[in-house]
Structure 1
Amino acid sequence: MKNIAVLMGGYSHEWEISMKSGAVIAQNLDSDLYNIYSVAILKEGWYYKDATGERYEINKNDFSLSIDGEKVTFDCCYNTIHGTPGEDGIIQAMLELLHIPQTSCDYYQSAITFNKRDCIAILKPWNITTGRHMYLNQGDSIDAEIIARNIGLPCFVKANRSGSSFGVSKVYKVKDMDAALENAFSVDNEIIIESFLDGVEVSVGAYQIDNEIKVLLPTEIVSENDFFDYEAKYQGKSQEITPARISEDHTNAVQDITRRIYQVLKLKGLARADFIFHNNIPHFIEVNTNPGMSEESIIPQQIKASGATMKNVFTQIIENTIKHHNS
């Protein structure tokens, strides 16, 4: 049987969500095929805990475990870390140097997609429609009036390298801009200011097996809050409707764009792209290369709606990752 490490946690605000994602993935891996090790990657340490709660530290020299005097190495790592170091390319680069396959996209692609500003800049020449944007770094001189004039109000102020809606505010008035900037800068020293797009919000998952990119059915997001914030995502303050209540033409359009984004960015494993149908045109918002897999998350809903099972999809991804890493 193959040894599979499910990597979860991370060093960002999202670590607890990642731990939930990792637990769901570990529960849905095929225990007839794999020895499953849930590995926490946290600031306090990298470790595996067995069923009794005994903690075994990861040897960072070769990413192995020593359990009862026996060395455990991994045939593949299922990477579900949210934020740094598992979504920004750091752990990917380390595992590549150690010749250990991992299921997320490669280190360069991870670095690009984790940086919202860089990702948008790369996709625009490929005719991927987006809203209007402004970028700020901590320490830049800031004029809220100029921001409002260039981007329009309302607008979104976001931490550039974050997820789960940490560091995101919707700004209606110029006087509220400073508080929104402070909130974003508390999460990241780079921020992105994005025009408000009015329309149906959808999210589309995709993964690749050999040469086929499998695009899942879109999920429509209806938030009870002002936007799809942390409460809406994880505390039941939203409806997530799969398949989305959009026309067949709109479904095909957003699936086609998701496939193109996956190809252009050279992604790997499960990824999720978010869009808003503004004036009936899907506008790209962002892509998540280690999407949430907790019970509340979108991708598990889409896998179920596709007629597949999480176990089968995870098995396909792991086997495909090992196959192409060794080829």
Structure 2
Amino acid sequence: MKPTIAIIEGGYSHEKVISLKSAATVFENIDLAKYTPIKVRVDEEGWVAFINDNKIPINRDDFSVIVNNEKIKFDFAFIVIHGTPGEDGKLQAYFDMIGLPYSTCNHLAATLTFNKYVCNQFLKSLGITVANAVLVRKNEIIELEKIIKTVGLPCFVKPADGGSSFGVSKVKEGNELLVAIQKAQEHGTEVLIEAFMEGREFTNGVYLSENGIKVLPITEIITQNEFFDFEAKYLGESQEITPAAINAEMTNRIKQITYKVYQILGLKGMCRVDYILVGKEPHVIEVNTVPGLSAQSLIPQMAAYEGISLKELFSEVIKVATKK
């Protein structure tokens, strides 16, 4: 009997719309000769499985469903929720408790990487170059002058625990900072204010293969927008060049950093590390442990250039994660 794969979509954040697109890509590219995929949605309305055009409630005691008086238990969870609870460690901790293998890093690594400020400060302590930044928590007194003195202008304001560029602003004038912080607070519990870095933007995918850590080609992101915002990411308002037009030395350097980040954070599954190249120094912006997998997303582009089909990629992720 083929293993039953739960493709978990939805979530409790604004990123749900992206999650549904990513889950559709995974569902369409699961190897049906090896696995039986079932979509499972986790959101504010509940936890349900979509089987034969029916929405069937999930028993959260053991993550099972009842179909025709028969209990179906899943063999693997393919997590495609961007944001909470799929990218911040909550689902991972739950699956660890019930003994169900899953496609991402563990709950500790997910919790660490989900908070961009905490993750980057940790990476900085290990010699990885990151942007100068300030963290603002809810209900804290916001000292605007002190923030500007620390990071300068212009600067970027974003939720520390959000993604898909929701709530992100580029602040050019001091009188814009408070509004930008308030906007970011609508999309996360903490706000990250980063120094603006003038440079080229790159991103690098990586995953754990049967032969160890596999770093994918580097992609350069070029957009006429102020930054790589939601419209640039998902509405075609950017140019994504794979492989990036950089020399072999810089290619190797960025790939080595990606490898090191993946290794020291103890990551698993498919991840993506984003960079700004300032002069000759790559700066890590953030680490994505549940990167987008929609048709517009970057990991599928990188895999395609490497000659890896999504069916092959997803099968390998499942095989490695379920290996005893």
Fold-level similarity (TM above 0.5): yes
Q: Deviation of residue 50 (structure 1)? A: 2.6
Q: Deviation of residue 211 (structure 1)? A: 5.6
Judge conservation of contact 2:210–2:316 (CA < 8 Å) in 1. no
What stretches of structure 1 move > 6 A for 4+ residues in a row? none
Distance 2:188 2:208 in 1: 31
Check if 1:149 corresponds to 2:149: yes
Distance 1:312 1:189 in 2: 37
- Determine the structure 2 residue equivalent to 1:160: 160
Judge conservation of contact 2:204–2:218 (CA < 8 Å) in 1. yes
TM-score of the aligned structures, taking structure 2 as reference length: 0.98
Distance 2:29 2:210 in 1: 22
- Determine the structure 2 residue equivalent to 1:71: 71
Letter in 2 for 1:200: R
Q: Secondary structure in 1 aligned to 2:217? A: coil
Distance 1:148 1:211 in 2: 46
Q: Secondary structure in 1 aligned to 2:220? A: strand
Check if 1:239 corresponds to 2:239: yes
- Determine the structure 1 residue equivalent to 2:180: 180
Superposed CA RMSD: 1.0
Letter in 2 for 1:42: D
Distance 2:139 2:266 in 1: 34
Distance 1:95 1:166 in 2: 28
Distance 1:183 1:211 in 2: 44
Distance 2:5 2:139 in 1: 44
- Determine the structure 2 residue equivalent to 1:134: 134
Q: Secondary structure in 2 aligned to 1:26? A: helix
Distance 2:71 2:27 in 1: 21
- Determine the structure 2 residue equivalent to 1:257: 257
Deviations 1:260-309 (A, max 9, x none): 00001000000000001012210000000000000110000000011111
- Determine the structure 2 residue equivalent to 1:88: 88
In structure 2, the gaps of 5 or more residues are none
- Determine the structure 1 residue equivalent to 2:221: 221
Q: Deviation of residue 210 (structure 1)? A: 4.2
In structure 1, the gaps of 5 or more residues are none
Letter in 1 for 2:241: I
Letter in 2 for 1:190: E
5 Å-filtered alignment, 1:14-33, equals 14-33=15-34
Q: Secondary structure in 2 aligned to 1:127? A: coil
Q: Secondary structure in 2 aligned to 1:237? A: coil
Letter in 1 for 2:21: K
Q: Deviation of residue 315 (structure 1)? A: 0.5
Q: Deviation of residue 70 (structure 1)? A: 1.5
Distance 1:140 1:121 in 2: 20
- Determine the structure 1 residue equivalent to 2:38: 37
Deviations 1:49-98 (A, max 9, x none): 234x2111111010011111121111111111111111111110111111
Q: Secondary structure in 2 aligned to 1:141? A: coil
Distance 1:127 1:12 in 2: 32
Check if 1:11 corresponds to 2:6: no
Letter in 1 for 2:56: Y
Judge conservation of contact 2:201–2:276 (CA < 8 Å) in 1. yes
- Determine the structure 2 residue equivalent to 1:201: 201
- Determine the structure 2 residue equivalent to 1:2: 3
Distance 1:209 1:234 in 2: 28
